[in-house]
Chain A
């Protein structure tokens, strides 16, 4: 669907909805879905306020990675997002999506794509992960554009054969950009590694963990 066409249809539907007396709360309310935004996107609330739904970033993406949120996404409709399993961010070094953004929804001061934070990869299904099962897979590691930095391999002995090594992919939050390539390439039917929002877990900071001895 062309963008213009979509916007037209979207507005038309909204109008129909209103006149028919439907409650728009569910449409306009915030979706519970997680949206993974282009590199340099502001925090979600600020992004929603700043993004004018012009679709330029979506059009300029050379890999067609970015998609439009549609009408079922309520307030998010028209905003750009990634479906990593379909097409991830391939981390163009010239970041065209930021260059074309007419507002500050995408942070123009971000010029090094490796510093982008779109999310953070997490092995979400450790039981299914082939590498953790001892197979020589590690596809996520080799496909990672920041190989040996964002994903490294932790080695331990294969406890069944006792003569091989398990190469466990370990994600480093401080380096991972959340580009989603790992989520995309995981060879399982349901990916075992997914990008999640970077902010999660303990935010309070009232306890400092022991770090590994240097």
Chain B
């Protein structure tokens, strides 16, 4: 907190909260290239306060940030942000410190004779541009890839999407842009995306965090919310404490965590058998006539998925059938018969969960009087059947009709601050365009080309290489330029050794835009020092579809620059002809109003289709806006007139907009209300309609898929399951939190967590060094036993934040054939005391 007295700080901070947002828009910093809006209102201590959002997880806690002399001196939870109401976790407490680690990158670096040496921006940018020109002209856009991030601001993601998918086509010899653009969100929630699209034909959850106050039954599936979403978890506990006899928490997982400790019922299952358990719940619901008949009739379609779909273990997905994603229509009767196999006895045998516990949980989830919310994150998403298991939980909510209503719904939590806002909404994936559109679809390409004012042929219709295959292609020389931004793949990729080796040995030009030296900058040919977090204007979109904007609040150190500027400068150096550069085509925004014009162009993709984002001016004013942010008048949203249904909508704002907290529900969502009014021939008694699911006659999909084993299973030689993940104190690859001395002291190194019985069997004591070996590598970790988490017998857990001992050297590069998301939660290892 610097020199500010605590009492003064609290007083002034509180006073400035309200003022900050109102006055922020009055100040802009002139004369900067690609001018960003500066914000801040001064308090009596000379600190200027402005709103922002936490840099870490997908909860999206609002924070207020205080600046003095260009530096951040204090932060505070933002009471006006509805996602957190002013509460932060310990990472949020240390937010201001992540900017000021001693080894911030402040100058561009170029590798010369094997060593990274300081250079000027001009030298670095000229080099990058000449590489792009050369490679694009000789090999075409297929040789160029970009690996981005769910920590990109929305502005950055959109600029990167245009750079790759619209811009490069003007230089490449094949005349099309490159779709080799994937975010690290591929490793994070691609399975949730695929399942949302396959079930509802629209990405992202239907409910909001407010469900927590309305619900009385919480299911957590392989999600350690207590540590990974601590602020949200404390909301669940608050709901429980207000009504302790009624409210139940049911935790399903492969290890005992702080969630299990708080849970009323804990089901510990064998890895991967969540597939069987979810099917058992569906079976229980149907067998006991607990399903909502009317809902099934009005809203659902039943399908059967392709089985034996492989694990992506062979390069190019050679072990994956082409039809892996196929879904075939079946009847409700056929579905009923399919799940009937998953009896309590059969499921108990597969999963290891006692029958009575399965029945208790099934009773809670199916009880018609209970309001059920399901939460999950990486346990489901990083799963070789991740898309399936996401859909199997939708099945349960759909059969019981517990969806799109306050306190009821399946909710996929996100791990990154803008996995939703940037990766999913902007569509920085190899197959995507903004607003759920895809490159394969000609009509979608046409819409994008019209907005971008480029010929439609410039957009490549061929889906690019998804993350794992993109990095595999660095081994074969197919990818010749890789630009990584705001991410650290040479720490976080599974089966890391093979990719690091390729980066060092292959002739591939790696550009890394980052703020600190990382394992990725270590293998890069050019390192670009970046502005981080509030050193640039930005916006993130959190898990509850809340878009949160912040102004530039602090100066960046040395010569660090925004990624927006970096891409602009490269594009400026790529000449299409004598007069025109790529920047003239894709970044043709007014320099003084760059961010607003970029936002409004991006926003035009989303209007009038139920993906509607808020205008720039509203975002700057409000402390987060949940989309769809729907305008009543056709003149404003450009497509649909809602005026005749507007009065029935709850929570409309005087400005003629409404922020939809429960999508598909006509009480809250004008699109649903409009649809129901326009379709009197259909029965929508409950006021719900899945209006995005046009292909399925506006019905959500219930999918019949079986339990299938994971890609690698423990055996005699490698007898343990390995699961990887996070801890509360550190975030992802630790590049930020490991630079906060206090957090580093709490947890200076990764550990291997044992079940006490296994530890005893192997004579391993707490603190002993243990070598963990898989078929891919071997790393030594100190042992932890009986700590914050207890893995089940026969399995070990290792967090991945520690760059000095990287668990990803032993993980397996297997992935879900549908979502292409790698499974970091299951592979086979052996352990020995060192």
User: Interface of A with B (CB < 8 Å)?
Assistant: 62-63, 90-94, 130, 134-137, 139, 142-143, 145, 147-148, 155-158, 160-161, 163-165, 167, 184-185, 187-188
Contacts and interface: CB of A to CB of B under 8 A. Distances in A.
B234 interface: yes
Interface stretch (B85-93, B423-431, B480-488, B680-688): B85-93
A130 B766 contact: no
28 contacts: A92-B767, A94-B765, A130-B90, A135-B87, A135-B88, A135-B89, A136-B90, A136-B233, A139-B729, A142-B728, A142-B787, A142-B788, A145-B766, A145-B786, A147-B787, A155-B237, A157-B238, A157-B242, A161-B85, A161-B87, A163-B213, A163-B238, A164-B85, A164-B87, A164-B231, A164-B235, A165-B238, A188-B742
B241 interface: yes
Interface of B: 79, 84-90, 92-94, 213, 227, 230-231, 233-235, 237-238, 241-242, 258, 261, 728-729, 742-743, 745-746, 765-767, 786-788
A68 B386 CA distance: 56
Contacts of B261: 148
Given A136-B87, A142-B788, A147-B787, A158 B238 contact: yes
B788 A135 contact: no
A20 B786 CA distance: 57
Nearest to B86: A161
Contacts of B238: 157-158, 163-165
A185 B746 contact: yes
A158 B239 CA distance: 12
A134 B61 CA distance: 14
A154 to B, nearest CB: 11
Nearest to B61: A136
B211 to A, nearest CB: 12
Classify the interface of chain B: helix, strand, loop or mixed.
helix
Given A139-B90, A147-B787, A158-B87, 12 more contacts: A90-B767, A135-B92, A136-B728, A139-B746, A145-B786, A147-B788, A158-B234, A163-B213, A164-B234, A165-B237, A167-B234, A184-B745
Contacts of B93: 130, 135, 137, 187
B213 A137 contact: no
B373 to A, nearest CB: 15
A92 B90 contact: no
A91 B766 contact: yes
Contacts of B84: 161
A90 B766 CA distance: 9
A187 B213 contact: no
Given A93-B765, A136-B88, A145 B231 contact: no
Contacts of A188: 742
A187 B737 CA distance: 12
Nearest to B90: A137
Nearest to B233: A136
Given A139-B90, A142-B788, A147-B788, A165 B234 contact: yes
Given A136-B234, A155-B241, A165-B234, A143 B87 contact: no
A187 B97 CA distance: 13
Contacts of B258: 142
Contacts of A165: 234-235, 237-238, 241
A187 B742 contact: yes
B61 to A, nearest CB: 10
Contacts of B788: 142, 147
Given A130-B93, A145-B786, A136 B230 contact: yes
Nearest to A156: B241
Nearest to A133: B93
Point out which of A91, A92, A167 has the most chain B C-beta atoms below 10 A from its C-beta.
Answer: A167
Contacts of A94: 765
A91 B768 CA distance: 12
Nearest to A127: B6
A186 to B, nearest CB: 9
**Most B CB atoms within 10 A — which of A137, A148, A188?**
A137
A160 B746 contact: no
Contacts of A185: 745-746
Given A90-B767, A93-B765, A145 B787 contact: yes
A62 B746 contact: no
Interface centre among A62, A160, A165 (most CB of B within 10 A): A165
B604 to A, nearest CB: 36
A74 B742 CA distance: 34
A135 B90 contact: yes
B76 to A, nearest CB: 11
Contacts of A184: 745
A134 B237 contact: no
A137 B234 contact: no
A133 to B, nearest CB: 9
A206 B68 CA distance: 58
A142 to B, nearest CB: 5
A163 B745 contact: no
Contacts of B728: 136, 142
Nearest to B92: A135
Contacts of B230: 136
A157 B244 CA distance: 13
B765 A157 contact: no
Contacts of B767: 62-63, 90, 92
A187 B743 contact: yes
Contacts of B79: 160-161
A168 to B, nearest CB: 12
Contacts of A137: 89-90, 93
A145 B787 CA distance: 6
Give the top 7 A-B pairs by smallest Cβ distance, nearest first.
A136-B230, A136-B89, A187-B742, A161-B85, A165-B237, A93-B765, A164-B234
User: A63, A148, A160, A187 — which one has the most chain B CB atoms within 10 A of its CB?
Assistant: A187
A49 B234 CA distance: 51
A28 B735 CA distance: 50
A131 to B, nearest CB: 9
B85 A143 contact: no
Contacts of B745: 184-185, 187
Nearest to A160: B86
A27 B132 CA distance: 74
Contacts of B86: 160-161
B508 to A, nearest CB: 41
Nearest to A161: B85
A146 B50 CA distance: 42
A157 B241 CA distance: 8
A166 to B, nearest CB: 8
A117 B328 CA distance: 66
A163 B258 CA distance: 20
A136 B766 contact: no
Contacts of A135: 87-90, 92-93
Contacts of A90: 766-767
A92 B88 contact: no
A90 B785 CA distance: 12
A63 B90 CA distance: 27
Contact of B87 (A91, A134, A145, A156): A134
A210 B781 CA distance: 47
A189 to B, nearest CB: 8
A52 B237 CA distance: 53
A187 B90 contact: yes
B90 A163 contact: no
A185 B728 CA distance: 14
A89 B403 CA distance: 51
A28 B816 CA distance: 72
Given A135-B88, A145-B787, A148-B261, A187 B94 contact: yes
Contact of A163 (B235, B743, B766): B235
B707 to A, nearest CB: 33
A111 to B, nearest CB: 13
Nearest to B740: A187
A23 B89 CA distance: 54
A53 to B, nearest CB: 27
A188 B92 CA distance: 14
Q: Of B90, B213, B231, B742, which is in contact with the most chain A CB atoms at under 10 Å from its CB?
A: B90
